[in-house]
Amino acid sequence: MKRLHARVDANQEAIVLALRAMGCSVQTLAPLGCGVPDLLVGRNGVNILMEIKDGAQPPSGKALTPDEKRWHKSWRGGKVRVVESTEGAVLAVLEEGNAGQQPRP
């Protein structure tokens, strides 16, 4: 079921802006809820699912929810990258996003 007011981590906007600045396509999935990752990121023909956690939160505030754990475990596609910062998100894209095709013009 679609949620009307999804909780978004405080650092998500900065992460989205940084990823778009490096040429990524970014689709926010957070409103879907049910453990679905927060972002779908595309770069060089590769899709990356990202779960955003706020690195400024205590460990209990950064833990995956039961719904997120279930969704990650049941997903049959590529792994979900859990990131806590802009730097972590950029690194995740560089590690996975360079494996695909050449950038589109």
Comparing C-alpha atoms, which of 50, 49, 52 is closest to residue 9? Answer: 52
Q: Write the DSSP assignment of 55-94 as a string of letters.
A: TTS-HHHHSPPHHHHHHHHH--SSPEEEESSHHHHHHHHH
CATH number for the segment(s) 12-97: 3.40.1350.10
The gap from C-alpha 10 to its chain's centroid, in whole angstroms, comes to 14
Q: Would you give per-residue pLDDT tens digits along the chain (105 residues)?
A: 444 446 788 899 999 999 999 999 999 998 999 999 999 999 999 999 999 999 899 998 899 999 999 999 999 998 999 999 999 999 999 998 665 555 444
- Let me know: does 42 contact 25? Beta carbons within 8 Å: yes
Q: What is the pLDDT of residue 100?
A: 53
Scan for tokens 């802006």, then name that residue: 17
The pLDDT value recorded for residue 10 is: 86
**Element holding 25 (H helix, E strand):** strand 25-28
Let me know: does 37 contact 50? Beta carbons within 8 Å: yes
CA–CA distance, 16 with 4 (Å, rounded to integer)? 20
Task: Provide the pLDDT for residue 84.
Answer: 95
Under 8 Å between Cβ of 8 and 30: yes
pTM of the model: 0.84
